[in-house]
Amino acid sequence: MAPSQRRQELITNQKADPYKVCLFLKEGVFPLIQLLIRTFVKNYKSTADRAVRTAYGNLACIVSVVCNLLLAGGKIAVGVLTGSVAITADGMNNLSDASSNVVSLVGFKLGARPADSEHPYGHARYEYLAGLAVSVMILVIGVELLKESFAKVLHPTEVAFSWLMVAVLIASILVKLWMSRLNRQIGTAIDSETLLATAADARNDVITTAAVLAATILTKLTGFARIDGLMGIGVAAFILYSGAMLVKDTINPLLGAAPDSDLVEHIEKKALSYPGVLGVHDLMIHDYGPGSRLVSFHRGNGR
């Protein structure tokens, strides 16, 4: 191989950006989220560190599991006491969300395993698989809601109403908004498609629960029993669209999507900053998971 065609290989890791992390903690973050991060994530500014990144992911997943289990218990209890099938079903949905949070937690645990002889580039792609699993669960929930909503339109049933149910649904909306913010903020900080998918799922739950609440109140005021089913169809369509976009976003890295142009530019500038490197070509970037990429290229050194 000619000297000008000397092959260069390196592994690029996600770079920590203290300024970005500080902004994340100071601007637009709920005080409770700040407290959780500072308490349970050591060296929280070092997001390039695999252990720190895993700690962020574990924190978001565990908090989400606890919140979803509490919401599920409260909704199912109120649903049984009031005889409301809608709120009981919403509680079961929270149990499903808790299971998806466990899948995400397992993904972070497996993704943090060090490289070995069989997987020399590490196991970080487990995070992509966990994000894909969460996205598929969102699609399944959307399909089930669509089927149930069509059945309610064809065979409307009376929607139970009680102020206790209204209070529980409002509390659920507030908690889910906070959970969506938590997962979106941490997911953005550590560049995790899994947590961004979880944030979208929590946002979808807010819309679903708000639709149940609105349908309950409107049915009480108008007596038109099909409102519940019609609103459910609209919500199901939104969830299916959201799930499809999330599947696309999480499966693209597994299929070898083209690298981001900003990353390519960053690598080229970094390579050209070294003495004797006058050009870069045949650049190839292999994504082995969040924060772990293998880069190879040929350099021109003017000889």
Share of the chain above pLDDT 90, in %: 12
Q: What is the secondary structure of 60-112 as a DSSP string?
A: HHHHHHHHHHHHHHHHHHHHHHHT-HHHHHHHHHHHHHHHHHHHHHHHHHHHT
Measure the CA–CA gap between 60 and 67, rounded to whole angstroms: 11
Q: What are the two backbone dihedrals, phi and then psi, of residue 181, each rounded to the nearest 5 degrees? A: -65, -45
Q: pLDDT higher for 26 or 294? A: 294
Instruction: Classify 279 as helix, strand or coil.
Output: strand
Other Cβ atoms closer than 10 A to 160: 16
**Residue 8: band (very low, low, confident or very high) from pLDDT cuts 50, 70, 90:** very low
pTM of the model: 0.72
Of 96, 109, 101, the residue nearest 65 (C-alpha): 101
Per-residue pLDDT of 52-110, as tens digits, reads 888 999 999 999 999 999 998 988 888 777 766 667 777 877 888 888 888 888 888 88
